[in-house]
Structure 1
Amino acid sequence: MKSTALVSSLLLAQCLALSSGTASAANKAPRRTRQGDYLNRLLRRSPLSEPSVAGAAMEETVVSTTKTDRRAASAVSREQGGGPRGEAACRGSEFAQYAGYVMVDAAAGRALFYYLPEAIGNGNSSSKPLLLWLNGGPGCSSLGYGAMEELGPFRVMSDGKTLYRNPYSWNHVANVLFLESPTGVGYSYSNTTADYSRFGDNKTAEDAYLFLANWMDRFPEYKRREFYIAGESYAGHYVPQLAHQILRRSSPSINLKGIMVSLHTVVHQPQRHHGKILLHTYLQNVSFFSDHLWRNWTDYDSTVLPIIRDLMENNIRVWVYSGDIDGNVPVTSTRYSLKQLQLPVAEKWKNFYTQKWRPWFSSTKGTGEVGGYVVQYKGDLSFVTVRGAGHEVPSYQPERALVLVQHFLAGKTLPDCKNCGQDY
Structure 2
Amino acid sequence: MEEAKALFFFFFFFIVAASSLPANFAGNGSDASDALAKDADFIDELPNQPESIDFRQYSGYLLAEPVSNRRFFYYFVEAEDIRPLSKPLIIYIGAPSVNDLASALLSCFQQVGPYTVGDDGQTLIPNPFSWNKFANILFIEGPVGVGFSLSDNDQDIYETQEFWIIADMYHFIVRWMKRFPEHKNNDVYIAGQSYIGALGPGLATYILYMNTRPDSTPISIRGILMGNPKMDSDLEFITRFEAKFRMNIISEEILRDHRKLCHVKNTEDVLICWKPIGEYQRLALALDGYNVYSKFCPNIDIKSVGLDNFKEKVYDCNEQCVAGYLNIPFVQLMMHVQSTPWGPPMWQPYDSNTRVLTNISSSTPYIKAAMAKGVRVLIYSGVQDDENVIPNMIAIKSMNLTISSEWRPWFDNKVEVAGFVESYVGGLTYATVRAAGMKVMIDQPERGFILAKSFITNSSLPFTKFV
TM-score band, normalised by shorter chain: 0.7 to 0.9
Q: Which amino acid aligns with 2:226?
A: V
- Inter-partner Cα distance in structure 2 for 1:173 and 1:399: 14
Say whether residues 1:253 and 2:218 are aligned partners. Answer: yes
What is the SS of the residue equivalent to 2:64?
A: strand
Is the contact made by 2:91 and 2:140 (CA closer than 8 Å) also made in structure 1? yes
Is the contact made by 1:74 and 1:219 (CA closer than 8 Å) also made in structure 2? no
Say whether residues 1:377 and 2:338 are aligned partners. Answer: no
1:169 shift after superposition: 0.5
For 1:6-405, list aligned pairs within 5 A: 76-77=33-34, 87-90=41-44, 93-123=53-83, 125-137=84-96, 138-143=100-105, 145-250=106-211, 251-262=216-227, 263-268=229-234, 275=315, 277-278=319-320, 279-284=323-328, 286-293=347-354, 296-329=355-388, 331-346=389-404, 349=405, 356-363=406-413, 368-405=415-452
* 1:267 to 1:217, Cα distance in 2 relative to 1, 3 A: same
What is the SS of the residue equivalent to 2:456?
A: helix
What is the SS of the residue equivalent to 2:175?
A: helix
Q: Deviations over 1:144-197 (max 9, x none)?
A: x21011111111112222221111111001001111011110001101112223
- Inter-partner Cα distance in structure 2 for 1:281 and 1:221: 31
- Inter-partner Cα distance in structure 1 for 2:119 and 2:416: 29
- Inter-partner Cα distance in structure 2 for 1:77 and 1:252: 16
Aligned to 2:466: 420
Is the contact made by 2:326 and 2:347 (CA closer than 8 Å) also made in structure 1? no
1:393 shift after superposition: 0.9
- Inter-partner Cα distance in structure 1 for 2:102 and 2:164: 16
1:312 shift after superposition: 1.1
Percent identity, aligned pairs only, is 33
- Inter-partner Cα distance in structure 2 for 1:136 and 1:237: 11
Is the contact made by 1:224 and 1:252 (CA closer than 8 Å) also made in structure 2? no
Is the contact made by 1:324 and 1:390 (CA closer than 8 Å) also made in structure 2? yes
Q: Deviations over 1:248-281 (max 9, x none)?
A: 1014531001111133111159999975734324
Q: Deviations over 1:220-241 (max 9, x none)?
A: 0111211111110011111111
TM-score, normalisation: structure 2 = 0.66
Q: How many correspondences in the alignment?
A: 329
- Inter-partner Cα distance in structure 2 for 1:281 and 1:198: 28
- Inter-partner Cα distance in structure 2 for 1:373 and 1:281: 36
* 1:332 to 1:127, Cα distance in 2 relative to 1, 3 A: same
Q: Which amino acid aligns with 1:267?
A: S
Q: Which amino acid aligns with 2:369?
A: D
* 1:408 to 1:281, Cα distance in 2 relative to 1, 3 A: closer
- Inter-partner Cα distance in structure 2 for 1:130 and 1:253: 14
- Inter-partner Cα distance in structure 2 for 1:253 and 1:314: 14
Query: Gaps spanning 5+ residues in structure 2: where?
Result: 1-29, 46-51, 241-288, 291-310, 329-345
- Inter-partner Cα distance in structure 1 for 2:458 and 2:115: 27
Q: Which amino acid aligns with 1:386?
A: V
1:108 shift after superposition: 1.6
1:110 shift after superposition: 0.9
Higher relative contact order (CA 8 A, sep 6+): 2
Computed over aligned residues only, the root mean square deviation of the Cα atoms, in angstroms, reads 2.5
Q: Which amino acid aligns with 1:335?
A: M
1:74 shift after superposition: 6.3
Is the contact made by 2:174 and 2:217 (CA closer than 8 Å) also made in structure 1? no
What is the SS of the residue equivalent to 2:197?
A: helix
Q: Deviations over 1:257-312 (max 9, x none)?
A: 1111133111159999975734324434521100101xx22233211111011111
What is the SS of the residue equivalent to 1:261?
A: strand
* 1:90 to 1:208, Cα distance in 2 relative to 1, 3 A: same
> Which deviates more from structure 2 when the two are superposed, residues 203-212 or residues 112-121?
112-121
1:86 shift after superposition: 6.5
- Inter-partner Cα distance in structure 2 for 1:282 and 1:379: 41
Is the contact made by 1:199 and 1:299 (CA closer than 8 Å) also made in structure 2? no
Is the contact made by 2:85 and 2:186 (CA closer than 8 Å) also made in structure 1? no
